[in-house]
Chains A and B, each alone.
Chain A
């Protein structure tokens, strides 16, 4: 006779662990579900940073976490996008900002009208029509406009990693989640089933369901008989990660800065009291010591303190839910650090686990639904990241030449092909970035639409020109009403939007 899941053991560390237990508690705590957290100990260094997309703010609201508290405790800085430099020799940088999708209905996407204008000789890039990019140029934070606004953008965060993990841990403690008092020393496994986890003090925790939030180590799911991890190194070639710090920027920008170099890229992520520096690179193209020196040169900052280097291995688990074990975060999908999606991976796992929380203990069909959703999520995300690498235009550099020659995954080939043919982006199920994000990325990679939806021509020529100019004005006007990053951080509470001119 089947019975309910009454206990869950979450084994992991840092944000994957704490966010998972807090979210499970919030959704299912009242049903009597018992949640055990087994902390493997932090792997974060003082140099680490968490980069989060705008969806983290929604999750915070859902969990009742106050934004001001997060920004203060984690020396956080809001940001509206990321700027990419040197991905093509000689080309100017491009901005990938977090514009919101317009409400459904209405006319064709603005992208279509822009594609026509560009084909007819307009020299103004798509980026100039993005509210997010407009805010980024002014170092401004886009506040919500209203629900039906055609133009709106959202912001994500850059957070001090250790502080954010600690904040979530404290939250878990305050909400009464049981945290194991002793370190993990063993995992009992039979085939694809976890029998229990053993702690150093001799206690054994048995639960109906186990969640692996241990990151790339995959402490639980990695030991199951059918575990299989698929590498994405063909498209995401970086295998080393360096984290360091530089002094605070005198005036805080509203975006992260990501610059390519011969062996990979270096990113600057401004925080309130320092600037986090992250480099991802291929060990075949650059040595650790070389990168530590280069990072400061490329980004023109003074690296202070020690740099911490670790391994990277982008890829995904074929079955992130196997037997009675569900992988969340990097234990399920290990993305490239580009685009700041690490938190997003954790959030997606949590959100699917909650909505597909198994109705009974033991084998249940929710597992294959979870696997299908996470696989789709993972491959769309990989495609987005892969575009940065595959469509690079850094010629005559071995690593970049090699990845440019790789055949793109089918989903990316379809998106890039349709974008080039008609400025259309065919969206799949479980996409992290929506049409505008993809369009910003693909235009940034130098892909120029050769055609557009013929219905665009219904608008007479003058009206079309007027519409394009009007959008440009509207973006500029709205961006000017948004507060600067410094002002936003200094405010005591959520700021209101300034009245229009």
Chain B
């Protein structure tokens, strides 16, 4: 076996601690030595309070107990995202973590649904998604496992306090012997020939030498951008939002098992129900609204009392042209930023870690591994980017400048082709790699008002009355089963109720930003 790899992680936010947790749990102890450098003086952004179902795999694979994690992070369950006013004023749809139709239905299901519209039925595709119906009823239960019943057709994620999640991972990691070093980086030593990073020099003068560096320094991208001068691919012409104004409010009455994102004049507003409070925020484009107007629009729209004053974050949509250079890989915000509309921030950290685990060098620099990692991440970023652009582009609102701009903008060819195919015949192409499967695309297309002009001719091979009967039965089956599910709030309280703590203390972490 080769000698252990000396790994240094810079930054202790969500990305840093997730990387430390996964690498310490999944790489054999004899393979690596790992240290994490962070400074208590630097706040963390704590990206994404809403997650995707993949995070459950992540937690399971490193041995995290779900209920324990949920209690520690004030978590609730998430079955999808509720979009309001997207596409057109008055729209309302859920992008569910699940398929439409029965477990056996497959990709042809929505074609039968589209066919039923021509046959005079007037029903929403969401009535055929178990996750959508359960979410709308504010109910939650674990999906059935090892069955082919309709209550096996979904998965779930969490809403949690990302800062608390990072802290939770920190405890998990420190218990596994990973050393945390307090300090700020003053200098970075590089090999004069190869450019490889040799060591981080802290303000205290301490020198942290290593063979492999993971840059989790956030927007500053201290190593990847700061040391390797890695360029930035700007996507703001497609994703014009560049500000986020988060503000916590009191816990809402109904604990919804979904995130809500509401389209606003110059962007959108999120609403994330946690056990102890509600996370809110306005993501907007400074090209289309000024800060004061945005603040007023946000405060006007909130129902519950504020727990703190709104803050401001600046960003730009895009990514570093590559995430890995020489002996340094960037994870999370140091490698790119995509707005949290589809809760992809933590996913992007996770998938980068998964690719890294497979490709981490074991004997010195190997450019083949670097190229492969960068290729894979290109695909991840681009597919998510296209899906996000779809939300903006597919709109007929015309009421404000942002929405007019987005409806008229030129979108990437890859996306234009996908939209064209769906518009014509409702076909959603599947890809082997990358996030968002056909049900996700379907939800957004239909939810934002794009009903296919035609359905696939294949649908006509089944007799119409039988197809309609199947649709009726699935809808009823879902309704009946959802009626028997517990309410989300009581399920959370029973399964993973967090101890009651003083509210001021709880959102301190967020204020540190």
- Chain A residues at the B interface, C-beta cutoff of 8 Å: 2, 4-5, 27-33, 354-360, 364-366, 368-369, 372, 414, 417-418, 420-422, 424, 426-429, 451, 453-455, 457-458
Contacts and interface: CB of A to CB of B under 8 A. Distances in A.
Contact of B417 (A32, A354, A368, A428): A368
Interface string B427-461: 10101110000000000000000000111111011
B268 to A, nearest CB: 29
Contact of A33 (B423, B427, B429, B457): B457
B432 A428 contact: yes
27 contacts: A27-B461, A28-B461, A30-B461, A31-B460, A31-B461, A359-B456, A365-B420, A365-B423, A368-B417, A414-B372, A417-B372, A421-B366, A422-B369, A424-B358, A424-B359, A426-B372, A427-B432, A429-B431, A429-B433, A451-B362, A451-B363, A451-B366, A453-B357, A454-B27, A454-B28, A454-B31, A455-B357
B427 A366 contact: yes
A354 B456 CA distance: 10
B368 A421 contact: yes
Nearest to B431: A429
A458 B27 CA distance: 7
Smallest CB-CB A-B distances: 9 pairs: A359-B425, A359-B454, A31-B460, A457-B28, A365-B420, A421-B368, A365-B421, A458-B28, A30-B461
Contacts of A453: 357-358
Contacts of B84: none
Interface string B316-360: 000000000000000000000000000000000000000001111
A69 B363 CA distance: 57
A369 B429 contact: yes
A364 B362 contact: no
A2 B454 CA distance: 10
A31 B28 CA distance: 58
A453 B359 CA distance: 7
B171 interface: no
Contact of A369 (B27, B421, B433, B457): B421
B424 interface: yes
B424 A366 contact: yes
Nearest to B31: A454
A380 to B, nearest CB: 11
Interface of B: 1, 26-28, 30-31, 357-360, 362-363, 366, 368-369, 372, 375-376, 417, 420-421, 423-425, 427, 429, 431-433, 453-458, 460-461
Majority secondary structure, B binding face: helix
A31 B432 contact: no
Given A365-B424, A457-B30, A28 B429 contact: no
Contacts of B359: 422, 424
Contacts of A451: 362-363, 366
A153 B105 CA distance: 28
B28 A5 contact: no
Contacts of B433: 429
A429 B461 contact: no
Contacts of A33: 457
A471 B454 CA distance: 51
B457 A421 contact: no
B363 A454 contact: no
Contacts of A368: 417, 421
Contact of B368 (A365, A418, A428): A418
B424 A457 contact: no
A365 B363 CA distance: 49
A365 B372 CA distance: 32
Contacts of A357: 456-458
A432 B376 CA distance: 21
Given A31-B457, A358-B457, A365-B420, 8 more contacts: A27-B458, A27-B461, A356-B427, A357-B456, A357-B457, A366-B427, A369-B417, A424-B359
B158 to A, nearest CB: 21
A6 to B, nearest CB: 10
B434 to A, nearest CB: 10
Given A421-B366, A421-B368, A454-B360, A358 B458 contact: no
A457 B31 contact: yes
B460 A30 contact: yes
Nearest to A4: B457
Nearest to B455: A359
Contacts of A356: 427
B425 A366 contact: yes
Contact of A417 (B28, B368, B417): B368
B457 A359 contact: yes
A421 B28 CA distance: 20
A426 B376 CA distance: 9
Given A27-B461, A28-B457, A359 B424 contact: yes
Contacts of B454: 2, 359-360
Given A355-B458, A427-B432, A364 B30 contact: no
A320 to B, nearest CB: 16
Among A360, A365, A454, chain B packs the most CB atoms within 10 A around the CB of A454
Contacts of B432: 427-429
Contacts of B26: 455, 458
A5 B30 contact: no
B6 to A, nearest CB: 14
A364 B28 contact: no
B444 to A, nearest CB: 18
Nearest to A421: B368
A133 B167 CA distance: 51
Contacts of A421: 366, 368-369
A288 B206 CA distance: 76
B234 to A, nearest CB: 27
Given A357-B456, A454-B28, A457-B28, A364 B461 contact: no
A331 to B, nearest CB: 23
Contacts of A358: 425, 457
A424 B417 CA distance: 31
Contacts of B427: 355-356, 366, 369
Contacts of A417: 368, 372
A360 B363 CA distance: 57
B424 A28 contact: no
A174 to B, nearest CB: 19
Contact of B362 (A28, A428, A454, A458): A454
B48 to A, nearest CB: 26
B27 A455 contact: yes
A356 B1 CA distance: 51
Nearest to A105: B57
Most buried by B among A2, A414, A457: A457
Contacts of A360: 424-425, 454
Nearest to B424: A365
B420 A455 contact: no
A397 to B, nearest CB: 30
